[in-house]
Amino acid sequence: MTRLVWLMLRNRWTQAVTLAVLALVATAAAVAGPAYLGAVDRAVVDREVRAATPMERGMSVSNSVKKEQGDIGDSAPDFFEIGAALIGMPDFTPVFSVDLPTLGVEKSPTSASRLVYRQDVCAHLVMVRGRCLIGGAEVVIGQRTAGRLGITPGVSVTIRFAELDPRTLVYVPAGAPFTLTVVGVYRVSDPGAPYWGSHGYFELDASGFRAEPVFTDRGAIGTLDHNAEDDTVDVLGDPAAFAPDRLPALRAELAEVNGRVDGLGGRQISVSTGIPKLLDRIDRERKVAHELVPVAGVPLVALACFVIFLAVGYGTGDRRFELGLVALRGAGRLTRWLLASGEYLIAIVIGAILGYPVGLAAMAALASLRLDGAGPTSGALPYALVAGVGAVLAALLAQRRELFTPVADLLRRVVGGGRGWRSLAVEVVVVLLAVVAAVQLRVANGQLAGVGMLVPALVILAVALLGARAVVPLASRYGARALRRGRMGGALAALQLGRRPGAHRLFVLLVVAVALLGFATTAFGVAARARAAQAEVASGAVRVVTVRPVTRLKLLNATRAADPAGRYAMAVVNGASGAPGDPPQLAVDTTRLATAAIWQPGFGGPGPRHLSALLRPGLPDPTAFRANAIELDVTSDDQARAVDVHLVVVLAPMSGGSPLTEDLGRLFPGDQRMITQVDCASGCRLVGFGAVNSGSGGFGLRVTVRQIRTGEPAGQVMPAATLAAPSSWLPQVPASIDLSGDTDGLHLYYHSHSGTPADGWISPADRPARLPVAATTALKSGSSLVGLDGRGTPVTEVARVDGLPRLGSCGVLVDLEYADRAASDAGTGEVEQVWLGPAAPPDVLARLRAQGLVVTGDSRVAQLRSELDGQGPALALWFHLLTAGLAVLLAAGGSWLVAAVDRDGRAGDLGALRVQGVSRSAAGRAGLWGYLVVVLAAALVGLVAAAVAWLVAGTEIPMFVNQAVPWPAPRWPTPGTVVGSCGIAVAILAGVALVAAYDLRRRVRRYGQLGTGRD
């Protein structure tokens, strides 16, 4: 028996090899899914861990120790031991540190230095001069500090523990002097290294220089007289700590540590860590990838099994007579089954076994190309077994008909080609399943879970089956008509599709392959476009430089000074978070909007240049002066006696320095001259002045401002006529102040009800009464938004847009200069940036620094795009593309096998027709178009199936883990993407068809010659 099976295998070795390859692909596809997921997991973890802050990669257990608690000094070792025991997590390295403020290193008696003990610090410092710490009373000092203070190794410094005076917010000595020897001067090579944790040892100061702690030995700190210290144990996770399969355990360990700390009770021990946030991010990415990969992997395995089913079905059909012969000799069912299935099973088993390592190797190759070398994980063996069993079952299922057919029927050449009720029932079930799955996908609110995961594949299969139901009869009808009209070639080709048993299955296979590729390409193309758009919108500009916050005016002036022509740089302040329901705000120097920001076509509205004009209506120059003092002549009515109301003036230095808020003193009845010294020699803008009730509640008061003058040099801040004109002023709360003016000056009638500072605030009308805004939606709060000063600001919507840079489809844009004038504080923004356009020169950072801006961050849209490209969804979509490509190759292999099985029969048919007078060209056309027409029709229906699947499930394909800004993904890819990829697929399938047709023609010719010879 074995010998006979071997002979069969050898006799049909091409079929066996093809079948083995199909089984290989099935198993490899089954292995590829989990293997690729494993690789994606590792890539995601690697990338997220690399990008994580030190706090997110580790944990800090801190203990603030006070002397009065009696646990200073000797207690520190206890804490360290406790900390180490608390943490005790594998693959985490503990770093102990003690941190306390001291005086004595700096020349200023109030300038404190951080005295720090940090375990193993010498391994992370580069000694510029001298040596690192060995022990005893030694310190090392930072390079800049040493240069600034003229300290060299060998010098002794006497320090004292310091405390912050809560009244003066100044450090004062609080311990006995202690002399230490400076043994070295260091610089730190990587201030952002995880080792340093999140202690901010090297933070930038206002001047843009890094702080430099004084490092010492643990013993020295123990000797120093001090009554408070911060003890910390930082644990830093090694890469192995974040291995994908360890993450659940890591969560449990974190919970356990928190539980232990809680169990300590009374002690001032706190645990801080960002690991949960990191794990959450990783989990989100992995979740999306785990949703997406099976969407492609499962159909591919199913398709491979279907191709095996098809191939074995065709092959067995071709062997009907042989099987009948075996049955004719009285063979039992087992013998019949072994002889029928043996050669297929051997081929499938060999292919399936090879598929496992091939799948892993292919994924390793793909991972090295796309996942920064993160190799696939093992553990996919069960999936390989499932696929192998699936392939075997598909083969057995394909043979069921021949195994149970009576001998007489097997011996007949003509096979009943009817598609019975079973096929119809299966097709109905598939279509219903597709509908149910699609509905479930919608009902489950876009969750790719359960059957919903297979929606695209099911929809594609349903459309393919329906297409086959429509196309096959059409081909049959066309064939019959062509036959009647004498178009023999076309007729025979159409009838090949219309009447050949199993042709509809081949058609379905090709449709599914083309559709899977179309769907995958669409998903990939749309996701790529969405990521590009998301990166551009979220970034706002090609390059975004974050600067240390300065006053908004300073940011504006510095940016304009760095780019006087306005060709590339734009000052940006992320607006204060508004009231609940208000959209986020962005304040930008709109004069540079067109050159610095990336303006998406989908933003709509008037466009950046016109928008700038709308947001910056013409205005007078700001009320500014240069002097060292400001004087106000005012007259208050008698009500001033009853209330404790002060007049406060706010000035904004034109240099961009900190705003000046000067209390001019209490208002009393009668005339007053209120003077205050100000540092406005370089120029200040009058932001406004206000009556502030020092008491509580509202107040009523009439004040006349007769003059606003400068002192040293003396002059007018504003002409009397301008001062007296109510139109020159804008009250912040119009309902609380009535303005009028005459030759006496400006009359202010305060009738504040709430007594808040805003009630008594007026500012020069160097801005519109209502701040112009461009919004994506109607403002819920009507005509007011929270301004840059955190107070309500009257606004007017001058433009409606569909989207805005950085804010996406939900936000409000204001002009930074106008918003700054509208604010009452002339302060700093929460996050200040300079957006740079493509024309920015290479030395742009130097230009910004030259203007006094301290750069703390620098990002580019390409980086953001790269980050998005590296996230789980993007990586998973690569797998879609790969599997779709494999699906096309499977279809090509399947159709080649079908053609190979078919060719003898077809050659015989066409050869016989040739002998009977059918012309050579007609037979050639029949051979050629018999295959091509299937491919072309399938390509057409395949594109339709892909489009339908995309319409049904496309919007549910996750493209981001977290969308940084709300901005809709494009609905469709660029036509070229789909046409190109599907064109390649059709070319491959048509190539197979052409080769098969050529081979068939050769055989027909040979048959014809034989026939002629016999005749």
Partner 1 sequence: MSGLAVACRRVVHIYRASDAGDGGAGDIVALAGVDLSISPGEMLALVGPSGSGKSTLISLLAGLMRPSAGRVNIGTYDMGKLSDSEISRLRGTEIGVVLQGAARNLLPYADLHRNIWLAQRRAARTSGIQLDDPDRILDLVGLGGRGRAKIGELAPGARQRAALAVGIAAGPGLLLVDEPTSQLDTHGRDEVLAALETVNTERATTIVVVTHDAEVGARLGRAVTIRDGRVGAEGRDGQDFAVVAGDGTVQLPPEVLGVYPPGTLFTVDHEDGTVSLVAGGAHAALAPPHASGVVPD
Query: What whole-number distance in Å separates Cα of residue 683 and Cα of residue 652?
Result: 8
Nearer to partner 1, 332 or 782 (CB): 332
**Nearest distance from residue 878's CB to partner 1, in Å?**
45
Could you tell me which residues are beta bridge partners of residue 543? 836, 860
DSSP H helical segments within 786-871, as ranges?
Answer: 816-822, 844-850, 861-869
Q: Among 883, 890, 888, 879, which residue's Cα sits nearest to residue 21?
A: 890
What are the b/e assignments for 534-573, b being 16+ CB within 10 Å? bbbbbbbbbbbbbbbbbbbbbbbbbbbbbbeebebbbbbb
Nearer to partner 1, 411 or 994 (CB): 411
Query: What whole-number distance in Å separates Cα of residue 871 and Cα of residue 350?
Result: 37
Contact criterion met (CB below 8 Å) for 15 and 315:
yes
In the list 143, 223, 335, 546, the residue contacting partner 1 (rule: CB under 8 A) is: 335
In the list 105, 121, 228, 326, the residue contacting partner 1 (rule: CB under 8 A) is: 326
In the list 416, 670, 715, 976, the residue contacting partner 1 (rule: CB under 8 A) is: 416
**Nearest distance from residue 410's CB to partner 1, in Å?**
10
Q: Please provide the distance, in angstroms rounded to a whole number, between the alpha carbons at the two ends of the chain.
A: 41
Nearer to partner 1, 322 or 738 (CB): 322
**DSSP structure class, residue 480:** H
In the list 108, 206, 207, 329, the residue contacting partner 1 (rule: CB under 8 A) is: 329
Q: List Cβ neighbours of 1014 (8 Å cut-off, separation of 6 or more).
A: none
Structure tokens at 112: 């404190």
Query: What whole-number distance in Å separates Cα of residue 854 and Cα of residue 119?
Result: 31
Q: Which stretch binds partner 1 (CB under 8 A): 325-333, 391-399, 589-597, 973-981?
A: 325-333
Task: Check binding of 420 to partner 1 (CB under 8 A).
Answer: no
In the list 50, 245, 321, 379, the residue contacting partner 1 (rule: CB under 8 A) is: 321
798 to 328, 553, 610, 616, 727: CA distances (angstroms): 91, 24, 11, 10, 22
**Nearest distance from residue 513's CB to partner 1, in Å?**
32
Q: Among 416, 401, 503, which residue's Cα sits nearest to residue 902?
A: 503
Could you tell me what percentage of the chain is helix, strand and coil, using 3-state DSSP and rounding each to the nearest 5? 55, 20, 25
Q: Among 13, 247, 223, 217, which residue's Cα sits nearest to residue 118?
A: 217
Residues in the chain: 1015
Residue whose token pair is 């042989």: 322
Task: Check binding of 109 to partner 1 (CB under 8 A).
Answer: no
Q: Which stretch binds partner 1 (CB under 8 A): 25-33, 251-259, 328-336, 801-809?
A: 328-336
**Nearest distance from residue 335's CB to partner 1, in Å?**
7
Nearer to partner 1, 403 or 994 (CB): 403
3-state class of 331 per DSSP? coil
**Nearest distance from residue 332's CB to partner 1, in Å?**
7
Nearer to partner 1, 154 or 406 (CB): 406
Ranges within 1-20 binding partner 1 (CB under 8 A): 3-4, 7-8, 10-11
Ranges within 373-412 binding partner 1 (CB under 8 A): 406-408, 411-412
Query: Which helix H or strand E contains 472, and what residues bound it?
Result: helix 455-484
Nearer to partner 1, 136 or 406 (CB): 406
Query: Which helix H or strand E contains 425, and what residues bound it?
Result: helix 421-443
**Nearest distance from residue 243's CB to partner 1, in Å?**
54
Nearer to partner 1, 11 or 866 (CB): 11
Nearer to partner 1, 11 or 677 (CB): 11
Nearer to partner 1, 169 or 414 (CB): 414
Nearer to partner 1, 411 or 433 (CB): 411
Considering CB under 8 A, how many residues would be counted as binding partner 1? 26
Q: Which stretch binds partner 1 (CB under 8 A): 319-327, 465-473, 692-700, 854-862?
A: 319-327
- In the shown chain, the binding pattern of residues 172 to 191 toward partner 1, with x for contact by CB under 8 A and - for none, equals --------------------
3-state class of 117 per DSSP? strand
**Nearest distance from residue 287's CB to partner 1, in Å?**
54
Strands 737-742, 645-653: pairing is unpaired
Strands 214-216, 113-118: pairing is parallel
Query: What whole-number distance in Å separates Cα of residue 612 and Cα of residue 592?
Result: 8
Nearer to partner 1, 258 or 335 (CB): 335
In the list 135, 266, 332, 842, the residue contacting partner 1 (rule: CB under 8 A) is: 332
In the list 91, 322, 797, 858, the residue contacting partner 1 (rule: CB under 8 A) is: 322
Nearer to partner 1, 7 or 176 (CB): 7
In the list 17, 122, 211, 331, the residue contacting partner 1 (rule: CB under 8 A) is: 331
Q: List Cβ neighbours of 496 (8 Å cut-off, separation of 6 or more).
A: 503, 906, 926, 930, 931, 933, 934
Task: Check binding of 327 to partner 1 (CB under 8 A).
Answer: yes
Contact criterion met (CB below 8 Å) for 312 and 900:
no
**Nearest distance from residue 329's CB to partner 1, in Å?**
5
Question: Which residues bind to partner 1, rule: CB under 8 A?
Answer: 3-4, 7-8, 10-11, 321-322, 325-332, 335, 406-408, 411-412, 414-416, 418
